[in-house]
Amino acid sequence: MSKVQAFYHKHRTILLLAVFAALCVLPFVVTKALFVRYACNILLFATLAGSLNAINGYSGQMCLGQAGFFAIGAYVCAIFSTRFGVNFWLLLPISGVFAAMVGLLVALPTLKLQGIYLSIVTLGASEIIRIIAQTWEPVTGGALGIKNIPYPWLFGLDTFRPKYYYFIFLLIGVLFLLVTNRVLKSRVGRAWISIREDQIAAKSLGVQTSFYKSLNFMYGAFWAGVVGCAYAPFVNYIEASQFSTDTGFNVLAMIVIGGQGTLLGPILGSMIVTVLTESLRFLDNWRYVIYAVIIIMMMWLRPQGIAGASHSVLAGGKIKRKPVRREGARSHG
């Protein structure tokens, strides 16, 4: 493992560019439209899981309501584009901001809640959003949903085809990773992680935990909204049942399997869960049993997830004490 890591750190830029190039040619190599659609789903859920990971994995809040923020983004996009003909690319940030506002609304009353209590509230909030979408007929179309969401413009390409829509998801995914990576390696990201690690200590060092928790919630919700906005034209038709808590738990499963608190984790999780979902279709609803088994196994055997380091707070809070080498001790005094 350490060899792989060393290799990665040495050739980081080249490797990442290679992966990006491979992803770019993927829809032209894979000719079967269905597989490209799966690839789109993987990218979509990778970013959605990433947005949840920004909350759960970094500031240690236990949010289960990502489906709600996702729904906000999708509905904002659907409503504004079908009724007012607003451009898709303009709607991406607008959806994000709408979702972030709702995120703030959820965060503010729950600042003092932690762990399971916060989970319950966020779960409730997600359900409330879904039920509003289902019942507010004049705006959301109620149970009938919203049809014929226009396909976005992408350099004149025919985004009706997943082959080209793929690039919208890829763009959002890459943007998300770049931005999140920068945020995490800054004062803000450190403040989030310090809250995850020890809230009292963070406070005693002057980190305004309430502010940073709210900011963290808004950040996660923002990206969920953006992904929702990209999702609506992709499926062309949205209705409330697409945003049930099942979706929320699906995304949660991705970050648990992939590894919370790492940027790679949600991507791996999304790949695994999506591939399983599609390849196990013949089992119908029984595949959920398989999910459950996988999640339980993961929690048991590798609580930090596949990509998670063994020295992670999520690895059960245990730390393996290794003898620390004192290299170069003399030169630095």
Partner 1 sequence: MAEQTLTRVPLLEAQGICKYFGGLKAVDHVDMTICQGDIFGIIGPNGAGKTTFFNICTGIFTPTQGRIFFCGEDITAMSPEAVAQKRIARTFQNLQLFKFMTVLENVKIGCHIKTKSNMFDAILHTPTFKRDEAFTTEKSLEILKRIGLFDFRDTLAGNLSYGMQRKVEIARALALDPKILLLDEPAAGMNPLETKALMEFIQALNADGYTIAVIEHDMKFVMNSCNRILVLNFGQKILEGTPAEVKTNPEVQSAYFGKGMVAGEAIR
- Residues lying near partner 1 in the complex (CB under 8 A) are found at 179, 182-183, 185-191, 193-194, 197-198, 200-209, 215, 219, 311-313, 319, 321-322, 324, 326-329, 332-333
- Provide the minimum distance between the beta carbon of 266 and partner 1 in the complex, in angstroms, as a whole number: 19
Residue with smaller CB distance to partner 1, 281 or 321: 321
- Provide the minimum distance between the beta carbon of 332 and partner 1 in the complex, in angstroms, as a whole number: 5
Q: Are 76 and 95 in contact (CB under 8 A)?
A: yes
Phi, psi of 255 (to 5 degrees): -75, -30
- Provide the minimum distance between the beta carbon of 118 and partner 1 in the complex, in angstroms, as a whole number: 20
DSSP 8-state symbol, 208: -
Residue with smaller CB distance to partner 1, 170 or 215: 215
Helices (H), the chain: 2-10, 12-29, 33-56, 66-83, 88-107, 115-135, 137-140, 162-184, 187-197, 199-204, 209-235, 245-258, 264-279, 287-301, 329-332
The C-alpha atoms of residue 256 and residue 299 are separated, in whole angstroms, by 8
Residue with smaller CB distance to partner 1, 287 or 302: 302
Q: Exposed (0-12), middle (13-18) or buried (19+): which is 101, by Cβ within 10 Å?
A: middle
Residue with smaller CB distance to partner 1, 178 or 297: 178
Residue with smaller CB distance to partner 1, 190 or 287: 190
- Provide the minimum distance between the beta carbon of 97 and partner 1 in the complex, in angstroms, as a whole number: 14
DSSP 8-state symbol, 146: B
- Provide the minimum distance between the beta carbon of 281 and partner 1 in the complex, in angstroms, as a whole number: 39
